[in-house]
Structure 1
Amino acid sequence: MKANNTKTVVFVTGAFVSHNGWDQWKAYFENQGYTTYAPAWPHKDAPAAELRDRQPNDTALAGLTFKELVDHYANFIKALPEKPIIIGHSLGGLITQILINRDLGVAGIAIHPVPPQGVIPYEFSFLKAGYKVFGLFTSLKKTYLMSLADWQYAFTNGMTLEEQMQTWEENVIPESKTVARGGITSAARVDFKKAHAPLLITSGEFDNIIPASLNLRNFKAYKQNGSVTDYKEFPGRNHYVLGQPTWKEDADYILDWISKH
């Protein structure tokens, strides 16, 4: 089935943030006739403030692995009546690439994705923005919570202080260090040579944590085999791309891309 004949969309959430960040995207796609889902990660189906109250002793979340997270989304998709279009952001973008590699979607859109294993993220801004979640020399039994200062650098650079504070309150939740570490293991492997459903990778000009240059290397890792693999860099976007004032432009580009495939 072609993507433009499918009316089901699954949104895949990234690390550090609530799945409620997809709410306006869900409403927008539903107004275009799609049935949408944005399932929470295991142990994250609660308001952001409530999840922060569990920090750092949410042992269930701390024990979550990347493989379990990918399987969580895979099992959700397998239970749907049709193969969906899969749209993921950041670590959710990596999961999208993995699920498309498993032939679980009719199309995939990876928005500023964390790269799969083998695409080396050597950019300084990536290391500065993301290294703390690995929790080196800290207990894996405790979760990690991104500070406001780190949120300002990693997600909301270029926004006003008021916007940065408000978006932190609304979105930021504790994270599993085990999941983060799994993102650099074989659980994050993609077979770049394998034929796959149409895949679009997008990036943002001002994204610090997942720089555009890293997304471009991710795109270029795919081998030419007749599969559709497209790339688009948007000007002016940081990593909070889902909530920036320009989010509808990104959504419209994605909707148009889906309509052509």
Structure 2
Amino acid sequence: MTINTSVETTTGPRDLEVLYAAPPADGDKPPVLFVHGLGHAAWCWTDWMLEAARAGHPAYALSLRGHGGSGGSLRSASLGTYVDDVVHVAATLPRRAVLVGHSMGGLVVQKALARYGAAAGVLVAPVPAHPAIGSLLAIARRHPLDAARMIAGGSLPLRPEYLVNQLPEDAARRVSARCGKESSVAQYQLLLHRPSSAPRASAPVLVLATPDDALVPITDVRRTARRYGAELREFPGMGHDLMLDGSWAGPARAMLDWLAARASR
């Protein structure tokens, strides 16, 4: 049976753009709040939102301040203000939410889990719990000028080859073209941050990643999974943007199956 659902755009607290996909019927499954990564916005989660809604979860995705349709300025944005955005939106939801974060958003979610009693956390190709020097080195090996640009305070150019491995060339370029700039302060903090405190209420954590990630070394992701005692699922052949690459349904289904298994315990 095909369940029709759609994504709506609303305005959340602090003039933040929030996308919403309603489940086909009211239930008791926790809402899922998706948090994008560096230079992305809420739009990147559309496919996963629809899958979550079809599985019965109210699905939300926010654009962090200065991204997408959200207000605010990148000039003054930092990891701390991004965490504030996530916690404020999560606090408006009807039940304790599952926080899902990709890349930089994965680090934001790690920090939000220390402040907000989430039902669970899902880290998707996350910036690691420790400083992301490995990512800077990975960028420098491919495009030394991109690494130099980041160090100088410019936004990392989100090239197609950084993001996806499975899409046709024209589709990969469209993904790259939708991405925008990032806060220079937040980019520096990825390289300098301290590990977050443990999740409040001992929220369980799942980590989804690919060993073929061009931006976050898989060794760093595995180390982060061990820190949280998290189950780690790897998807070989995919690029950094697990929610946008050709086989996006695989990690989305792994997330939903994990949530369902925990609910049945």
Above 0.5 in TM-score? yes
Which residue of the partner structure matches residue 135 of structure 1? 150
Which residue of the partner structure matches residue 144 of structure 1? 155
**Residue deviations 1:138-193, cap 9 Å, x none?**
5xxxx6261xxx51332124644323212222x3111111111122344x531359
Aligned 8 A contact 2:133 2:191 in 1? no
CA distance in 2, matches of 1:191, 1:108: 14
Distance 1:129 1:77, change over 3 A: farther
Give the count of matched residue pairs.
Answer: 234
CA distance in 2, matches of 1:5, 1:129: 46
The structure with higher relative contact order (CA 8 Å, sep 6+) is 1
CA distance in 2, matches of 1:13, 1:179: 14
Match of 2:212 among 206, 209, 214: 206
Distance 1:40 1:174, change over 3 A: same
Aligned 8 A contact 1:133 1:177 in 2? no
Which residue of the partner structure matches residue 162 of structure 1? 170
129-138 or 16-25, larger mean C-alpha shift: 129-138
Which residue of the partner structure matches residue 125 of structure 2? 112
Matched letter for residue 98 of structure 2 = I
Cα distance, 1:127 vs structure 2: 4.7
* Structure 2: gaps spanning 5 or more residues: 1-26
Name the SS of the counterpart of 2:122 in structure 1.
strand
Which residue of the partner structure matches residue 90 of structure 2? 77
CA distance in 1, matches of 2:55, 2:185: 37
Which residue of the partner structure matches residue 176 of structure 1? 183
Aligned 8 A contact 2:42 2:61 in 1? yes
Distance 1:59 1:71, change over 3 A: closer
Which residue of the partner structure matches residue 216 of structure 1? 222
CA distance in 1, matches of 2:72, 2:189: 17
Cα distance, 1:232 vs structure 2: 1.2
What TM-score do you get using the length of structure 1 for normalisation?
0.78
CA distance in 1, matches of 2:95, 2:191: 31
Distance 1:77 1:129, change over 3 A: farther
Cα distance, 1:136 vs structure 2: 2.7
Distance 1:144 1:184, change over 3 A: closer
**Residue deviations 1:18-75, cap 9 Å, x none?**
220111111121111111110111122339xxxxxxxxxx992122111111111111
Match of 1:23 among 36, 46, 64: 46
Which residue of the partner structure matches residue 59 of structure 2? 36
Aligned 8 A contact 1:204 1:233 in 2? yes
Aligned-residue CA RMSD (Å): 2.9
**What is the aligned-residue identity percentage?**
21
What TM-score do you get using the length of structure 2 for normalisation?
0.77
Distance 1:64 1:29, change over 3 A: same
Which residue of the partner structure matches residue 90 of structure 1? 103
Which residue of the partner structure matches residue 234 of structure 2? 233
Matched letter for residue 173 of structure 2 = M
Which residue of the partner structure matches residue 14 of structure 1? 37
